[in-house]
């Protein structure tokens, strides 16, 4: 119980820091328990939320807002007591699935690269306790079969019939575009964006589609829908040269340097941002014209957001006709979850994700709201969010 009070105290310290712009440091001994590390991980998340507000030019909360934070402190403690009185249980029953599709390589050098990239995805998914299903590689890692389209469509029909659990669909290979239709190159008949959209239409599971192929841009508007995260290696079908983004993304999944918010895990958004930066650096260092421009869509508007529109893990710009900022849902999708994320019950994680979506919408409306209204709503969201993490 004392641990929960410590968390509340730290959040309150951040409120004071915002008001007076003071910096508080806490000693970090080498002998921390797992419980303390878990709490500090969540504290860093909460600190990040306040940090965003500070860097939007707000110099301090007014007196009444500050009093509201502290007057709600007792309510916060009461909610915490209620939460801690209930037994918490780690997530053990959620079935998440990675479907990994390796396309026809064409040349031996691409076959080796695609096999290596696929291996990194399998390794990360296995560490994340995900079920892994692979299309396009034989048991020995070769690509000698002649037809994968039927097998893939049957597999996706089976997976989309399941009612729950994240479904990750990753394509590694080449793509083509004839000016009308984009396709992913398989052994045998190719898979079009329209064919994939049709088989995924009835999917009600949280869905991630990562299209690492050249000419993959048209897959984004074809697949975009609420509750989905879509990533493409190109912004149009006319970027037909070999796409290197997929290799950088596969490596970023397990790279601690990709962890921008320092919560001990790498989200899909963080891996996307690191891979995009490294792709850009490759073309710049080689003095080549950049022939792949990655996009991410997770708000269902089918427009996509380029990596340069992000500051940290938040999009600071949206398309002119976009619904809202992309990135929130992608930041919630984590292949290999950290300790605190694993310990969240599925219903708590779902509620946390809803609150983070509400927080994103609230921030987008900040210029339209009175300061008191904005911080009152902000306080309500953050207070409930803090109660979702279990007491050890």
For the whole prediction, is pTM greater than 0.85?
Answer: no
Report the pLDDT value the prediction gives residue 190, as an integer from 0 to 100.
Answer: 97
Q: How many CB atoms lie within 10 A of CB 157?
A: 12
Amino acid 42: pLDDT: 53
Domain spans of the chain? 2-22+35-89+345-386, 97-332
Contact status, residue 314 vs residue 300, Cβ threshold 8 Å: no
Distance CA(62)–CA(68), nearest Å, equals 10
pLDDT band with cut points at 50, 70 and 90 for residue 49: low
Q: 102: alpha, beta or left, given left = phi > 0 and alpha = psi -120 to 50?
A: beta
| Weakest-pLDDT range from 82-91, 283-292, 304-313 | 82-91
- Mean pLDDT, the chain, rounded, equals 81
Distance between CA atoms of 277 and 260, rounded to whole angstroms?
A: 13
| pLDDT at residue 358 in the model | 92
Average pLDDT over residues 292-305: 96
Q: How far apart are CA 178 and CA 63, in angstroms?
A: 62
CA dihedral 362, 364, 367, 373 (to 10 degrees): 0
CATH T-level assignment (fold) for domain 97-332: Rossmann fold (3.40.50)
Six-digit token string for 287? 């003095």
Q: Is 314 helix (H, G, I), strand (E, B) or coil?
A: strand
Give CA 240 to chain center in angstroms.
Answer: 26
Using one digit for the tens of pLDDT, what is the confidence trace for 115-169?
Answer: 999 999 999 999 999 999 999 987 555 555 578 999 999 999 999 999 999 999 9
Of 18-32, 85-99, 146-160, 353-367, which has the strongest mean pLDDT?
Answer: 146-160
CA 268 to centroid of chain Cα atoms:
4
Whether 347 has a pLDDT exceeding 60, the answer reads: yes
Query: Cβ(5)–Cβ(43) under 8 Å?
Result: no
Write out the two tokens for 18.
């915002």
């Amino acid at each position: 119980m004392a641990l929960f009070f410590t968390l509340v105290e730290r959040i309150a310290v951040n409120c004071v820091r915002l008001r007076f712009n003071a910096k508080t440091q806490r000693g970090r001994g080498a002998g921390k328990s797992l419980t303390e590390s878990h709490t500090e991980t969540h504290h860093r998340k909460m600190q990040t939320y306040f940090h965003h507000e500070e860097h939007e030019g707000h110099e301090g909360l007014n007196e009444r807002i500050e009093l509201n934070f502290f007057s709600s402190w007792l309510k916060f403690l009461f909610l915490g007591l209620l939460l801690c009185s209930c037994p918490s249980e780690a997530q053990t029953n959620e079935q998440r699935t990675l479907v990994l599709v390796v396309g026809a390589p064409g040349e031996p050098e691409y076959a080796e690269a695609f096999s290596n990239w696929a291996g990194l995805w399998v390794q990360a998914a296995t560490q994340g306790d995900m079920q892994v299903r692979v299309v396009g590689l034989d048991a020995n890692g070769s690509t000698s079969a002649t037809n994968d389209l039927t097998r893939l469509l049957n597999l996706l029909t089976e997976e989309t019939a399941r009612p729950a659990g994240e479904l990750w669909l990753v394509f590694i290979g080449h793509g083509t575009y004839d000016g009308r239709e984009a396709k992913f190159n398989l052994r045998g008949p190719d898979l079009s964006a329209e064919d994939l959209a049709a088989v995924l239409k009835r999917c009600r599971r949280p869905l991630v589609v990562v299209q690492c192929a050249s000419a993959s841009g048209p897959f984004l508007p074809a697949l975009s829908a609420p509750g989905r995260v879509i990533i493409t290696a190109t912004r149009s079908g006319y970027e037909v040269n070999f796409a290197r983004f997929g290799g950088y993304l596969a490596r970023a999944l397990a790279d601690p340097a990709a962890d921008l918010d320092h919560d001990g895990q790498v989200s899909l958004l963080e891996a996307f941002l690191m891979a995009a930066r490294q792709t850009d650096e490759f073309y710049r260092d080689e003095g080549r014209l950049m022939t792949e421009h990655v996009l991410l869509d997770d708000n269902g508007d089918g427009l996509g957001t380029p990596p340069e529109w992000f500051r940290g893990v938040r999009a600071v710009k949206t398309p002119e006709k976009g619904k809202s900022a992309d990135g929130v849902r992608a930041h919630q999708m984590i292949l290999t979850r950290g300790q605190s994320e694993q310990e969240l019950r599925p219903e708590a994680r779902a509620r946390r994700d809803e609150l983070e979506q509400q927080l994103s919408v609230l921030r987008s409306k900040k210029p339209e709201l009175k300061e008191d209204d904005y911080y009152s709503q902000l306080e309500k969201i953050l207070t409930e969010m803090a109660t979702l993490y279990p007491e050890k």
